[in-house]
Amino acid sequence: MDPLTLGLIGFGCALVMLAIRIPIAFTLAGVSTAFVFIIFATRSGGFEVERAIAPTLSMVFANTFDLVHSYDLSMIPLFVLLGHVAYHTGMTTDIYHAARIWLMKVPGGVAMASVFGCGGFSAITGSSIACASAMGKICCPEMLRAGYDQRLATSTVAVGGTLGSLIPPSVLFIIYGIFTEMSINRLFLAGIIPGLLSLAGFLVVIYIWVKRNPEAAPIPDVQLSKGDRRKAAIKCWPALTLFAIIIGGIYGGVFTATEAAAISAFVAVLVGVLQKKLNWKQFVQSIKETCTQTTSIFFIAAGAKIFVGFVALTGMAPALVDIVESADVSLWLLLVMIAGIYLLLGMFLDPLGILVLTLPFLIPMVEGYGLDLVWFGVVVIKLLEISLITPPVGLNVFVIASVTTPAVKVYDIFMGVLRFLVMDIIVLIALIAFPILSLLLPTTMF
């Protein structure tokens, strides 16, 4: 059996294993290793086990070694640590509390504050799931107590949590940059305008929602002074400082994304200690959480790297490119097909799994069309962001359902999310139609 046929069978097996909920790290590594072994064992016409052991082990260990020794990979645990320290010290929630005070008298103001809080949380932690989990425990109960409609209160935080995919630092951008060998500095900068555009779009949806149905978001009867607003704004300085270090430092060419990760993590710990908001127990807990989350990401990345080697060995990617070229598919039709694939997979898989599963096939096609890989990375991450709230398995929706007290039905959250999905599609179309939205900052960086 030729390698291409074995590759297609192996890819089919991987999809089946993922469908029955086998972890993606074990699926990609296991299927790839098994079928690479079969390919090497059957090269001479028979099935010679001895001839397959050495090259299979060499391929597996070489790909894993290259990944683990990637300099860019070191920023993942640093940014994850930054996120956990910022959460334990309250830096990530100060933005929400400040926005809530400033927007309290605006129709739907608390919901808008939740979006701002999620955006600020995402700008520090880089994790959509962590953002939805943490902010869901804070924002949803507060809005429900204030008499907000259940669908508005929960869906706002669910969609706000997706901003962690685009607003840097984003773990998805880091993985994309490593596997496509693109500058992570440029990818981070490329995600800023699309991330802010998505945030603004969510605010517009809330405004229209409340404008049409004022009872969905009662304005609380609370009197505030200018001093309260000023104090709330001042409390945000640690989070704003961290964001300035990461984005300002990268855009100004002061340091790389990895250096920004290390410096911002150190500053977060230092500020937490000086403000007496971070004790030894919280610091150790942050380290443990970082190790757990980073290990999971590294296992998935290692399995994906082995899978990339398997795809290259079988020739599946070049064969797919030949099929697309022979079919003379237009660029817009190709992009629609890619969007359909991501939205379909988003109904069943987590974003990181979708990313590592599809990149080995899509990148050769995109390069064949001469598209900018930084711009394409933003489009892909936006699609993955949408997948976090796409039924029936929108991860952020289930996270919100699990942490919200009193409980809200998943169905109600999805019904609220549908309004935001329309805006997400509009933003996606804008990003595809106007690449300058993604490329403006990377092309002007120092």
pLDDT digit string (tens) for 274-329? 999 999 999 999 999 899 989 988 999 999 999 999 999 999 988 988 888 788 88
Question: Per-residue pLDDT for 269 more than 90?
Answer: yes
pLDDT of amino acid 446: 62
pLDDT of amino acid 348: 74
Instruction: Report helix angle 49-68 to 24-41, nearest 10.
Output: 140
Residue spans of the domains in the chain: they are 1-69, 72-298+437-444
State what percent of residues in the chain have pLDDT above 70: 99
pLDDT of amino acid 150: 93
Among 434, 436, 433, CA closest to 332 = 433
Looking at every residue in the chain, the average pLDDT score rounds to 89
Q: Which of 129-133, 361-365, 394-398, 410-414 has the lowest mean pLDDT?
A: 129-133
CA distance 166 to 162: 8
pLDDT digit string (tens) for 204-213? 999 999 999 9
pLDDT digit string (tens) for 163-199? 888 888 888 999 999 999 899 999 999 999 999 999 9
Predicted TM-score (pTM) of the model is 0.92
Backbone angles phi, psi at 300, to 5 degrees: -65, -45
Q: In terms of pLDDT, which residue wins out, 238 or 349?
A: 238
Q: In terms of pLDDT, which residue wins out, 424 or 51?
A: 424
Longest dimension (CA), the chain: 83
Tokens of 227: 């001093």
Compute how many other C-beta atoms are within 10 angstroms of the C-beta atom of residue 159.
34
Rounded alpha-carbon distances, angstroms, from residue 134 to 114, 141, 185, 297: 11, 12, 27, 20
CA distance 380 to 81: 25
Q: State the residue for tokens 């962001």.
A: 385
Q: In terms of pLDDT, which residue wins out, 439 or 405?
A: 439
Q: Find out whether 394 and 158 touch, Cβ atoms under 8 Å.
A: yes
CA distance 337 to 381: 16
Question: Per-residue pLDDT for 417 more than 70?
Answer: yes
Question: Per-residue pLDDT for 272 more than 90?
Answer: yes
